[in-house]
Amino acid sequence: MNNSKLLAVMDYLAVAITILTFVFSVGSAISGTVNPNHYTFVAISGLVFPATILFSFVIFLYWALRRSYLILFPLVSLLINFGPIFSNFQFRQENNISPFPGNQKLAVASYNIHKFKYDEQSVSTYEISEYLKSENIQIACFQEFGTNTVMPMREALAFFDYLPYKAIKEYSDDEMGMAIMSKYPIIKFDKITFEDTGNGILWADIRLPDRKVVRVVNCHLQTTNYNQTKTMNLNVKLAFIKANILYRTFQAETVKLLTDTTTTPIIVCGDFNDQPTSYTYSTIKGDKLVDGFREAGSWLGGTYKYFWGIPRVDYIFHSKHFKSLQYKSDKKEWSDHNPVISVLEFKN
């Protein structure tokens, strides 16, 4: 095949990729505002958002080299997803300077710990506890909280004696474990379990040293569980993914109801199992909450280790009573998720 024929084939392939990528980019751009009960394709577009942006960027470079007007398609794809891009990636260096010196600060962690083990041979209780202690964490929210055959619960909890106040819902046959641990007194807490999935919400009202009460909401929403779909045919795979998206839609609306009826300052942590482009993300965040990563994060915000660590599915949101001074997700080997840490300061 001579060079001109090869170039023609590449152009035809590039056109197909351009059209497909553009369709998915439009879907991802509106996925946060469209209820998945009505348009599942839009929700799936949001789920594959990182791949869409990557292909849009590559195809943009291709058409730039070819000096073709078709460069407009990937350019539009990138522009209409401007907001979601910056919910995954921030062009800033870390900045811990306080605009309200002397005000109460809170170091908060959210972590899906995978029952303190990443595989059958390793137990990570000590490592996780020492890491959070080194970060001076005052409130920790855990998803998939539980113990394994190697270490009983009483022994595991002893590692976190520097967070003496605890609200815990252990694993059972019907529910996944969750925990909120605090340096400050927990005056009230409750658990909301989502029907049919075992996921849920654990919330706690915590009294701070200055007598302020803050409500901490720990969420664990339904997984997409892509790994389970590998042996399924396409139709079954799509049905499985759609069902989990719809579960998350209902769960997100339940979280939203709780946050909307909370009058105290509020912090929402959790494993949402969904991208910042999603209806899940936009519903929980709403107008009342601030995404700490958008306010103080830097570089790539990915928290899930698979797919090159790109997906951002773990979050810390806060009400406008706070300003986020620091937001990070260190790469750790103790779970299939990375921890998320945010340092918050009460505003004047």
Cα distances (Å, whole numbers) of residue 194 to 18, 35, 41, 253 = 40, 19, 24, 11
Domain residue ranges of the chain, discontinuous segments joined by +: 3-86, 99-346
Cα distances (Å, whole numbers) of residue 308 to 51, 54, 311 = 11, 13, 8
Tokens of 233: 């045919």
The full DSSP string for 6-47 is: HHHHHHHHHHHHHHHHHHHHHHHHHTTTS-TTT-HHHHHHHH
Tens digits of residue pLDDT in 206-252: 999 888 899 999 999 988 765 555 556 667 777 788 888 888 999 99
Q: What distance in Å separates the CA atoms of residue 124 and residue 114, rounded to the nearest whole number?
A: 10
User: What pLDDT shows up at residue 72?
Assistant: 93
Q: What distance in Å separates the CA atoms of residue 220 and residue 273, rounded to the nearest whole number?
A: 8
User: What pLDDT shows up at residue 94?
Assistant: 65
Say which range, 92-106, 156-170, 180-194, has the weakest mean pLDDT: 92-106
pTM > 0.85: yes or no: yes
Tens digits of residue pLDDT in 60-76: 998 899 888 899 999 99
Cα distances (Å, whole numbers) of residue 332 to 72, 116, 131, 327 = 40, 13, 10, 16
φ and ψ at residue 314, rounded to 5 degrees = -115, 140
Q: What distance in Å separates the CA atoms of residue 177 and residue 199, rounded to the nearest whole number?
A: 8
What single DSSP character describes residue 107? E
The residue type of 248 is R
* Half-sphere exposure at residue 302, Cβ-oriented, CA atoms within 13 angstroms: 14
Q: Give 164's pLDDT tier (boundaries 50, 70, 90).
A: very high
Query: Is residue 93 scored above 70 in pLDDT?
Result: no
Say which range, 42-56, 216-230, 247-261, has the weakest mean pLDDT: 216-230
Cα distances (Å, whole numbers) of residue 312 to 89, 96, 245, 293, 301 = 10, 22, 16, 10, 6
For the chain, the residue count is 348
Percent of the chain past pLDDT 70, that is, above it, reads 90
Tokens of 104: 């109460």
Can you tell me which residue has the tokens 């999603």?
278
- What is the torsion angle, in degrees rounded to the nearest 10, for the CA atoms of residue 81, residue 36, residue 266 and residue 276? -30
CA nearest 151: which of 118, 113, 116?
A: 116
Thinking of the domain 99-346, which architecture would CATH place it in?
4-Layer Sandwich (3.60)
User: What pLDDT shows up at residue 347?
Assistant: 84
Classify residue 74 by burial, with Cβ atoms within 10 Å: 0-12, 13-18, 19+: buried
Q: How many other β-carbons are positioned within 10 Å of the β-carbon of residue 331?
A: 10
More confident residue, 18 or 41: 18
Helices (H) and strands (E) in the chain, counts: 10, 14
Provide the angle, in degrees to the nearest 10, between the axes of the packed helices 72-80 and 49-66: 150
Average pLDDT for residues 155-184, to the nearest whole number?
Answer: 89
Greatest mean pLDDT range, 29-33, 170-174, 284-288, 305-309: 284-288
**Mean pLDDT, rounded, of the chain:** 86
Q: Which helix (H) or strand (E) holds 53?
A: helix 49-66
User: What pLDDT shows up at residue 56?
Assistant: 92
More confident residue, 100 or 250: 250
User: What pLDDT shows up at residue 120?
Assistant: 62
Gyration radius of the chain's alpha carbons: 22
